[in-house]
Amino acid sequence: MPNFRNGRMSEDIKREISGLIREEIKDPRVNSGLVSVVRTELSGDASHCKVYISSIEGVEAAKTAVKGLESASGMMRRHISNKLHLKKCPELKFIADNSIEHSAEIARMLEKLEESGSDKLEN
């Protein structure tokens, strides 16, 4: 069970990586679509951090973005270490996730249900 400090550091890392994706990383694999950091999981000893990446374009776009992020991980670790004043920055492991695509699909299904429900009420 992660303690309070690890949870807070995990959220700080998530915020910094999200900012780097938006502003600093110029790799076309990463900026190809709407790429987002879904969540981060920091290990108990803060030596490893899993970063879950999702894209609205689907899991394949997320996998492509993960490849771009892996190539920029050194720069990201340096930035995170300087910004958060860490002596040792955790290793970043990027994992493709399909949660944004899944939630968009659920929203579409709910919209269809709402439309069909309003059609029945009108008749």
Angle at 102 between CA 100 and CA 24, to 5 degrees: 15
- Tell me the mean pLDDT in the region 88-96: 94
* Whole-number average pLDDT of the chain: 87
- Find tokens 């000893």 and name the residue: 45
Taking only the tens place, the pLDDT of each residue in 2-54 is 578 888 999 999 999 999 988 888 888 887 568 889 999 999 898 999 999 99
- Tell me the mean pLDDT in the region 60-83: 92
Residue 89 DSSP one-character state: P
Residue 1 pLDDT grade (very low, low, confident, very high; cuts 50, 70, 90): very low
Whether residue 53 contacts residue 67, with contact meaning beta carbons closer than 8 Å, is answered with no
Length of the chain equals 123
Given 3-state DSSP classes, what are the helix, strand and coil percentages for the chain, each rounded to the nearest 5? 55, 20, 25
